Amino acid sequence: MSLYRDQAVVLRSWKLGEADRIVSLHTYDNGKVRGVAKGVRRTKSKFGARLEPLSHVSIQMYRGRSDLDTITQVETISRFVSLRGDPQRFARAQALLEAVEGVAQDREPDRVLHVMLVKALSTLAERDSGLVVAAFFLKLLAHEGLQPQLDVCYRCGTQAELVAFDLDDGGVLCRRCRRGRPVSAEAVDLMRRILGGGLGSVLAEESTSPSGASTEVEALATALLEHHLERRLRSIAVLDQT
């Protein structure tokens, strides 16, 4: 039983009883943690407002015997205000949070994942693009050891005519081996560049000459992550409606 400090992104929150709120956090040092903020719904405290989903915060928590830690102090690092005003942007940010909620394990420290999330939210705050979400999903899968095979046919190893992508295989397939969904050479190239660390240049190009390959990559990255999580992402369903 102890008091600790950490930095965290609020993934989601829900009501507990009359006055309390439970928040799911992804922290820098302690992985995914659930904490209870006591009394925040009774008093209109700043404390509660600081724990809205999406916020990047510095927290102090008390870890007792239960699975739920008690949040004792919260300071805002960033609220990512620009992501909150617009429904599409907000849904994209939510998709990142939902992916981390689904993939991260309770109390399993993962600093790489934490930094990836904060960076992706910052990038999305600067540039509203579905490719930021797609890139995050692809990198998240790679981080989980599930990097899609994009260089050669998953089945026969040829580099020529890669025309399909199969979610079960998690890789591209040539014309002879094809199954799953069709994929364009441009989309394969875009995914290779994103996973090779080239998201910055991909985004710069997209802003001057948008291509259909972006939409294709967004759909494929979402399908891959949902395949891994074995469920649909709620926030993506919201995005599909906007």
- Please report, as ranges, the residues that interact with Zn ion according to CB under 5 A: 153, 155-156, 174, 177
* Nearest residue (CB) to Zn ion, 49 versus 156: 156
Q: How many CB atoms lie within 10 A of CB 145?
A: 6
Contact 118, 77 (CB under 8 A): no
Nearer to Zn ion, 128 or 169 (CB): 169
Nearer to Zn ion, 75 or 151 (CB): 151
How far apart CA 98 and CA 92 sit, in angstroms, is 10
Q: What's the CA gap between 104 and 110, in Å, rounded?
A: 8
Q: How far is the CB of 153 from Zn ion (least distance, A)?
A: 3
Question: Least Å distance between CB 158 and Zn ion?
Answer: 5
Minimum Å distance from CB 156 to Zn ion?
Answer: 3
Instruction: Name residue, tokens 């989309």.
Output: 187
User: Residue 112 or residue 160: which is nearer to Zn ion going by CB?
Assistant: 160
76 sits in which H/E element: strand 69-78
Q: How far is the CB of 185 from Zn ion (least distance, A)?
A: 15
Nearest one of 62, 92, 86 to 74, comparing CA atoms:
62
